[in-house]
Amino acid sequence: LGRQWIWSNKLSNMKNKLKIVLLTIVMSSFAIFTTGVSESYFEIAKNLNIFNSLYKELNSLYVDETDPGELMKKSIDHMLESLDPYTTYIPESEIEDFRFMTTGQYGGIGAVITKRDEYVYISEPYEGFAAQKSGLMAGDKILEINGKSAKDKTTEEVSKILKGQPGTSVSLLIERKSVSEPFTVIFDREKVTINSVSYSDHINNNIGYVKLRSFTRGCAEQLKKSIVELNNKKELKGLILDLRSNPGGLLNESVDIANFFIDKGELIVNTKGKINSWDKEYIAKKNPIFKNLPLVVLINNTSASASEIVSGSIQDLDRGVIVGKKSFGKGLVQQTRKLPYNSELKLTVAKYYIPSGRCIQAVDYSNRNEDGSVGTIADSLLTEFKTRNGRKVYDGGGITPDIITSEDFPVNLIKSLAKERLFFDFATDFRIKNDQLKDNFILTEQDFSDFTYYLSDKKYEYKTKTELAINALKEKSKTENYYSEIEEEFNLLLNKYYDSKKDDLNKNKQIIKEILTGEIISRYYYQKGRIKASLNFDEDVKKAIEILENTKEYNSLLNI
Where in the sequence numbering do the catalytic residues fall?
Answer: 305, 316, 330
User: How far separated are the first and last CA of the chain, in Å rounded?
Assistant: 91
Q: What is the DSSP letter of 60?
A: H
CA–CA separation, 304 and 247 (whole Å): 5
CA–CA separation, 412 and 390 (whole Å): 43
CB neighbourhood size of 200 (10 A): 22
Residue 239: name the closest of 489, 549, 511 by CA: 549
The single-letter code of the amino acid at 106 is: Y
Instruction: Give kind and range of the element (H or E) at residue 512.
Output: helix 509-534
The single-letter code of the amino acid at 97 is: D
In this structure, is the dihedral angle defined by the CA atoms of residues 427, 432, 433 and 436, taken in order, positive or negative? positive
Residues 6+ apart with CB under 8 A from 289: 224, 227, 228, 260
Q: What is the dihedral of CA 269, 270, 272, 278, to 10 degrees?
A: 110
Residue 184: name the closest of 142, 150, 154 by CA: 142
Residue 325: name the closest of 214, 221, 403, 432 by CA: 403
Q: Three-state SS across 103-171?
A: HCEEEECCEEEEEECCEEEEEEECCCCHHHHCCCCCCCEEEEECCEECCCCCHHHHHHHHCCCCCCEEE
Q: Torsions phi, psi of 243, nearest 5?
A: -110, 15
CA–CA separation, 366 and 450 (whole Å): 54
List, as one string, the DSSP characters of 378-402. PGGG--EEE-TTS-EEESSS-PPPS
CB neighbourhood size of 53 (10 A): 10
Helix (H, G, I), strand (E, B), or coil: what is residue 293? Answer: coil
Decide: 187 and 169 in contact? Cβ < 8 Å.
yes
Q: Torsions phi, psi of 170, nearest 5?
A: -140, 140
- Encode burial over 483-501: b for 16+ CB neighbours within 10 A, e otherwise: eeeeeeebeeeeeeeeeee
CA–CA separation, 111 and 122 (whole Å): 7
